[in-house]
């Protein structure tokens, strides 16, 4: 990693950025299988037993990452709108003349089909449908970060159509050069909310009353916000920051700063301390 950062910092041309993006994709692809996150507010989510589906067609989806399988095939991790994160074997996708070679790329909106009911099903169709601009330079790194979050925090066969829509929106904003830090904070918050591990941040869990703008809080990862105490070591945030995040309003500089450290803390907790490889690249290169 140190060598990667040194290489990137020593050159500002586009080829260096592309090399860094490729490395980011590689480390994201090495992410371990998602672990089920825990919450004391509700029963832990478990990976659903794959339904007895023999054939699915025309399903909106994105490739999160892929890796070689046997000599000519790939295992592709796909985030689908109505079926969640699924593993598909793309037979013959590595062959020179395979139609899938140019299709199974990250950040390309796809229409996907598959068959089978095992944990790893068989890809039967994948077509590019368009509609999104390609990600470039720093936006590409941010996209790999989103993918790694989904791989590590989202159980397979657990549908999250609302989160899928958030993902599409985040990619679109990154492609249109929206401020990356704000796009990432919005998606991180949506991910924790949609997977059921984050409470309503508009209510204090200690009192049951509405969050007060001027009050200073800490956010218990398993319970939610409560007033900060002198001995607390968790990140301290104002009530205004919590309410701004709920409203996706990041115009305040303090909200931007406090939300960054708050989300790092919460993600580290729900990942059980497992590092996010692409996050470290972003920190080193972009201070996000």
**pLDDT greater than 80 at residue 152:** yes
Q: Do 248 and 108 reside in the same domain of the chain?
A: no
Clarify whether residues 240 and 105 are in a common domain: no
- 156 and 270 co-located in one domain: yes
Which of 128, 145, 160 represents a domain boundary (last residue)?
A: 128
Do residues 136 and 123 both lie within one domain? no
CB atoms within 10 A of CB 254: 12
- Tell me how far apart the alpha carbons of residues 73 and 259 are, in angstroms, rounded to a whole number: 42
Check whether residue 136 and residue 242 sit in a common domain.
yes
Contacts of 53 by beta carbon, 8 Å cutoff, 6+ apart: 83, 116, 117, 121
User: Is 90 exceeded by the pLDDT of residue 101?
Assistant: no
Shared domain for 217 and 116, answered yes or no, is: no
pLDDT at 14: 41
CATH of residue 108: 2.40.50.140
CB 144 within 8 A of CB 279: no
- Cα gap 33→118, rounded to integer Å: 17
**Residue 166 to residue 282: CA distance in whole angstroms:** 20
Tell me which of 128, 159, 180 is where a domain ends. Answer: 128
- Assess whether pLDDT exceeds 50 at residue 13: no
pLDDT in tens, 54-73: 799 999 999 999 999 999 99
Find out whether 76 and 151 touch, Cβ atoms under 8 Å: no
Same domain, 142 and 122: no
Sheet holding 236-238, edge to edge: 224-227, 216-220, 236-238
In a shared domain, residues 149 and 288 = yes
Q: Where residue 12 falls among pLDDT bands split at 50, 70, 90?
A: very low
Total number of residues shown for the chain: 288
In this predicted structure, the answer to whether residue 121 has a pLDDT above a threshold of 70 is yes
Specify the residue for token string 């904070």: 185
Residue 50's pLDDT is: 53
Is residue 242 predicted with pLDDT exceeding 80?
yes
> Residue 244 belongs to what H/E stretch?
helix 239-246
Between 8-12, 181-185, 245-249, 262-266, the lowest mean confidence (pLDDT) is in: 8-12
Identify whether residues 119 and 157 lie together within a single domain: no
| Averaged pLDDT for residues 190-209 | 92
Same domain, 115 and 199: no
- Please give the residue that has the higher pLDDT: either 59 or 130: 59
Q: Give the per-residue pLDDT at 53.
A: 55
pLDDT at 2: 37
Question: Total structural domains in the chain?
Answer: 2
- Asked whether residue 3 carries a pLDDT value surpassing 90, the answer given is no
Tell me the pLDDT band of 203, cut-offs 50, 70 and 90. very high
Kindly state the percentage of the chain with pLDDT values over 90: 70
Q: What is the mean pLDDT of the chain?
A: 85
| pLDDT at residue 49, rounded to an integer | 55
Residues 90 and 217 in one domain: no
Question: In which domain, by residue range, is 249 found?
Answer: 1-48+132-288
Write down the pLDDT at residue 39: 43
Q: How far is 247 from 206, CA to CA, in rounded Å? A: 22
DSSP E strands, 27-109: 55-69, 73-80, 84-90
């Amino acid at each position: 990693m140190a060598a990667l950062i040194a290489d990137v910092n020593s050159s500002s041309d586009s080829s260096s950025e592309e090399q860094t993006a490729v490395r980011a994709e590689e480390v994201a692809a090495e992410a371990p299988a998602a672990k089920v996150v825990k919450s004391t507010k509700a029963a832990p989510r478990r990976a659903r037993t794959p339904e007895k589906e023999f054939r699915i067609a025309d399903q909106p989806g994105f490739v999160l990452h892929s890796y070689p399988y046997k000599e000519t095939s790939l295992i592709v991790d796909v985030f689908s709108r109505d079926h969640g994160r699924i593993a598909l074997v793309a037979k013959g996708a590595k062959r020179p003349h395979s139609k899938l070679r140019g299709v199974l790329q990250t950040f390309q909106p796809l229409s996907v089909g598959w068959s089978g009911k095992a944990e790893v099903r068989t890809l039967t169709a994948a077509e590019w449908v368009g509609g999104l601009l390609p990600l470039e330079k720093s936006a590409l790194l941010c996209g790999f970060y989103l993918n790694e979050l989904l791989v590590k925090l989202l159980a397979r066969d657990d549908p999250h159509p609302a989160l899928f829509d958030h993902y599409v929106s985040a990619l679109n904003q990154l492609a249109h050069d929206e401020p990356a830090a704000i796009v990432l904070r919005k998606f991180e918050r949506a991910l924790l909310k949609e997977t059921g591990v984050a409470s309503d941040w508009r209510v204090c869990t200690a009192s049951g009353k509405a969050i007060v703008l001027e009050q200073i809080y800490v956010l218990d990862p398993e319970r939610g916000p409560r007033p900060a105490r002198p001995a607390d070591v968790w990140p301290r945030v104002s009530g205004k920051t919590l309410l701004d995040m709920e409203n996706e309003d990041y115009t305040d500089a303090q909200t931007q700063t406090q939300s960054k450290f708050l989300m790092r803390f919460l993600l580290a907790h729900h990942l059980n301390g497992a590092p996010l490889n692409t996050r470290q690249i972003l920190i080193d290169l972009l201070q996000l």
